[in-house]
Structure 1
Amino acid sequence: MCKSRRRDDSYSSTEWSEAFTLSVSILNKPTVTLQPSWTQIYSGETVTVRCEIQGGEGAQWTYEWRAAKLNTPPTSNEYRIIRATESDSGGYSCRGRRDYFFSEWSDIITLTVSSKPKPTLSADNTTLPVGGSVTLTCSVNPSSSSSGWIYFWYRDNILLNFSSSDGQLSVSQEGLYKCKGKRGNPAYYTHASQEVQINKTRPASAVVTVQPDWPTLYSGEMITLSCEIQGGDTEWEYEWRTTSSHKPSNQSELRVDSTSPSNTGHYKCRGRSKRAQDHITEWSVPLNLTVSHNKPRPVLTVSPSWLSPGASVTLNCEVEHPSAGWSFYWYKAVPDLSEKSSSYELLPDGSGTAQDSYIIHGQTHTAGYVCRAGRGDPEYHTDHSQPKFVWSAGQFDSL
């Protein structure tokens, strides 16, 4: 406020004037901002660079810029970079000028412009579980602070009616999948990602197998029945059906240490998924198991049966189903005339031979021979064959 008085009259003065208010503001350092606020952008995107002076509102400012690529620096507080290129990368700062007054330079904000990105597409599983789904994940440079992406999805090159901001998609159909990212206004699109093939789990089926797989089993042999689920990628519970009097458990394997005719019958099984109880396989094709009560007895033949002195003799041991894993044992029959019976002495190298024939060289006397066969582990043995004799004009060979 102010008032006046006459120079020659100290007692004469005017009233005080009306008050005039002067405001002095603290002018903060300018700030450079980006819109959108991503400091990591990609070739072809659009971004607005803005200079803001807090405390200088209402003033008529002219702006100066220090920028990575400004051939003709603007004097306004913002400018737009349309379809950015990698040469737009760098630091940006600004200050304001009003008449002869200059503000401080702002801190530098760094903008990075990279080449157009290609998203990464991954799947937690490439095979669809029975009755389930797999999760696809699409990401654009996940290590970057850039955000704002909306992801679009394609199956067999057809755009799906679905988009996601978290980059994830749960799928339950097989096909060839890929994704793209989109953000900004105007919209900016990435390249398409690599493709990921998702396949269905083929229907699982049950099969019954038996080991050893002999054409005919005999009482006392050991076997293992197995229920195998082919296809699928899950854990299974098992169910058996059989026409035999032996009822198997609900395990995948059934071991019989000593078979008997009661094990004869048809065996079939099926599986139930532990994860999806409503998923059950079809019953397997029945496996027919036959266990014979009679122990097999091989038949021995000798050639020649009448011996020329010093000739070789060939023994042949024939057992039912000769290809069913048999090995052969060869014996000389030694008669005990007092007991009217014979004992058996194992011939040299005559234990568990793979061949069903055995040659005796230099036979000179009449002698009797028997054979038997064995198979499996633990080994199951047949009965001994009936003795067969090689006759000679000389005396009986008693060993």
Structure 2
Amino acid sequence: MSGFSYTITPDWSHSGVYWCESGSADFSNAVNITVQDKHHSIILVSPALPVTEGDPVTLSCRDKEQKLLSNVFFYHNNKLIHNDSREELKISAVSKSDEGFYKCEHSGKESPQSWMAVRDKPQPVLSVSPSWLSPGASVTLSCGGLEHPSAGWRFFWYKMVPAKSSSSYISKATVTLQPNWSQIFRGEKVTLRCEIHGGGGAQWTYEWRPTSRNSPTSSEYRITAADSGEYKCRGRTDVFTITKWGVLRLAVSG
């Protein structure tokens, strides 16, 4: 089959992952199509298009009348995700490790598997024009390289400056976990710590992601473990003195 479009009249055999390929062997993103047949009384509601790394995702299980079901078990690549049943599966910040096949189980009945694809988070590209300057000349900085730049993107501009007591630039922040257990279970209280090296004794204000009403401005962030996801921090002393984000991937069990 060749051409710009491909039309099907779906039956249960058309469920699966679809993609297209150009004549130069470039592959498109993959999309998931799940066709509910008479043998399946429930279906997993999941994103059909790839989701971006770091975005929140919610999966649910519904019957033929699209009624949301409760007391549901969710599986990732045929492995039970949680030992307890729930109404929805919420992933606060999706990562590449979350990519794969998902299904749900309700009252002993299983849905067909659905594939959830995760794509890399787009990275902005900074360009400058003109590239050579003379004193008094103006210069334009452009932030581009993003898909759909008008769709909810916000742009902030920063200038990296040397630390006050050092000639080197301020390094990236580091996020550590206390206690640093190998396995964290849901409901446990843990402390995230933001450490900055090479700051020259500066007085830092800290930013945390994801944010909430209780997000602190100090170097420690005490949370109750809920779902797996990414936590980020960075430090700033003023609008121009700012570190790069430090990232910690928190894996929550049970």
TM value normalised by structure 1: 0.25
Q: Which has the higher contact order (CA 8 A, sep 6+)?
A: 2
TM value normalised by structure 2: 0.36
